[in-house]
A and B are shown apart, each in its own frame.
Chain A
């Protein structure tokens, strides 16, 4: 029974009714599926976020019922509010697809593409975006910009080379913690997230910057290189914490708790806690210190999309593809001809892929 009027908005020929003041992105998320534009910098719980990455650009083909003129430029759907009778084109517009492919190319331009050794792989938004909208090769043939890794205190490591400057962590520190101690230094393509000067971040809630980071630029030092996210099993758990809501996701393998994060929804955003009614940010103690199962009350399996790589192998009912190879081989079992690790020179863990300028090629792996 609210006073806000309902606006009809048509996104990719699907009409939804949303309250006035809703953004196009939120309306599209109500439709769900492919119609929802990807968003790398917008984060619902963070006020003022969005508008920077330009991946959520959409075409407004009809402004509103009153003023049906189309908007001349593509607009950032995360920061544009709907009007009554608005018509939006996302996946049905070639212009949008073209611009989005361009944005993905720009985002990946200076990205090291070190997914094989990145902790974020498997839950990385940039990985998903590149998979859906990116091209298979790069047209960039120059040196990529690199940064040194920085330790921001004892829990968080910052690897600026991977950063896409979404500003989410800056907003988080400004809005969730008592004081913001990091920000953006320099400008243009050498802009960097940094503390001034190499200070550590000491705040009870600063760990949340790891959760909001869409890429692997801010990583949990208690989890770094411990496991791949798709090998761990997410379960919801809670504890009585006097600092935060205490509602978390435990990422477990067997009985071992590898990692603790806040609970996220299907868009990768931290959920609202049913206990407090506020965004379920968690404190550093819950995130980094409570790594024993006995400290938690397990509530059950976490909601993970079946399409996510994390859900792989955790849903026994998922239909398995038929084993075709034995049919092809006329009932015989395939024979192992060789072990790839004994013949390949590519498997050299001492080479840090993130330190390489440009894409990794075989010449880098040739033994000196």
Chain B
């Protein structure tokens, strides 16, 4: 059993309320940070901890904080990105719904470190019931003197506001989120300038994922060095993984990034194996936009080493034979799932969610969806597969924001690893409407060059 830092008290009855949360050791980090540490020392602790952004890109949080511009007389903002819309990712929802005070506590410490007196939680519109939970928690914290003016008599002021999104995936991109927060259309901005220089209302802003902010609490409580001891290499601390798909025990798990992918899927402590005793065919380990991997490449790297649930190991081999940690949305496909249909579903999602600002993403996502539908419905040609490859290649890297990449990667990875299945669809137009390609050779041992 790995160590738990975020969900260690999730099982406690009534942890959603301030009293119980405080009794289990809550808000200690606020007292420690505000009374004994300077803001720069808090930033240093986070840097020492090696905490990497939990939203998907994995950028070191401490480094992000140290980039924030500090011009005189200009307010700074901390914006918490709770617009968790990635298919397969629901870890922030669990955290906010059950332990809202962990997030509030993290925000207070982080805002103190950044010198922000106003903080916003931008929450996904579909999480309709969670803003009420958060607002209740904010009111409780305020009543107990952890928010508002002159917190704990230290002279630090902070207000937290909850803002609901209107149901757009693109508003999870930090600059689109800022635009939306300002009341505008959620179109990503062109960078530079980065939000750390010119963000919300043209003021320096840091946008962080819910889990990153919540992880600041144990970092301050135990010290950054202690946090860095957990995990392996540059993957420090613990990570929330939301496992879903054909699993016996889907759900949100906190792992310490030293366990192997095989253990995570098959061990009874975690996901408990594939549902119905079926075989594993493929998996997307980090939310819908990271590359899909067949079972053989998922459990072992191309070098034949065991693959672990951490940033480095999952991305071992680059996109050719690896994938990404992403946001931790672990989607598992068993032997009866069709990768073509799955890719089509994702393409449909990205087409629907493209903001339409820059041309490659606006036109390309729709085009990919149409071709994938054509192949899936048994009307495709071999030429269509090559065309699909060419389209994704022309979208990737040529767009304003990462949504273009996010739309291109799943398609690229599906063709890269599952080309046989695509070709089977083309060559068996009648059969593919009633049958699946099945597991085929996707779990076979791969040849490792000596």
Contact = CB atoms under 8 A, between A and B. Distances in A.
A139 B398 CA distance: 20
B119 interface: no
A184 B398 contact: no
Nearest to A51: B190
Interface string B320-363: 00000000000000000000000000000001111111111011
Given A51-B400, A184-B185, A189-B362, A106 B356 contact: no
B194 interface: no
Contacts of B351: 188-189
Residue of A53, A74, A102, A186 ringed by the most chain B CB atoms within 10 A: A102
Given A73-B397, A105-B394, A140-B367, A54 B360 contact: yes
Interface in B101-118: none
Nearest to A185: B185
A106 B365 CA distance: 10
Interface string B388-432: 000001110111100000000000000000000000000000000
Q: Is the interface of A mostly helix, strand, loop or mixed?
A: loop
B359 A54 contact: yes
Given A165-B357, A188-B353, A191-B356, A106 B185 contact: no
Nearest to B170: A187
Interface string B147-169: 00000000000000000000010
B382 to A, nearest CB: 14
Contacts of A98: 394
Contact of A106 (B190, B355, B364): B364
Interface in A1-56: 50-54
Contact of B367 (A74, A99, A109, A167): A109
B386 to A, nearest CB: 10
A142 B366 CA distance: 10
Contacts of A188: 351-356, 362, 365-366
Interface string A153-197: 000000000001101000000000000000110111111000000
B398 A99 contact: yes
29 contacts: A52-B357, A52-B358, A54-B358, A54-B398, A73-B397, A74-B397, A76-B190, A79-B190, A102-B360, A106-B359, A106-B364, A109-B363, A109-B366, A109-B367, A140-B367, A165-B357, A186-B356, A187-B356, A188-B351, A188-B352, A188-B354, A188-B356, A189-B351, A189-B354, A189-B363, A189-B365, A189-B366, A191-B355, A191-B356
A106 B363 contact: yes
B370 interface: yes
B397 A103 contact: no
B359 A103 contact: yes
Nearest to B352: A188
A188 B186 CA distance: 12
Given A76-B190, A107-B363, A189 B356 contact: yes
Contacts of A50: 190
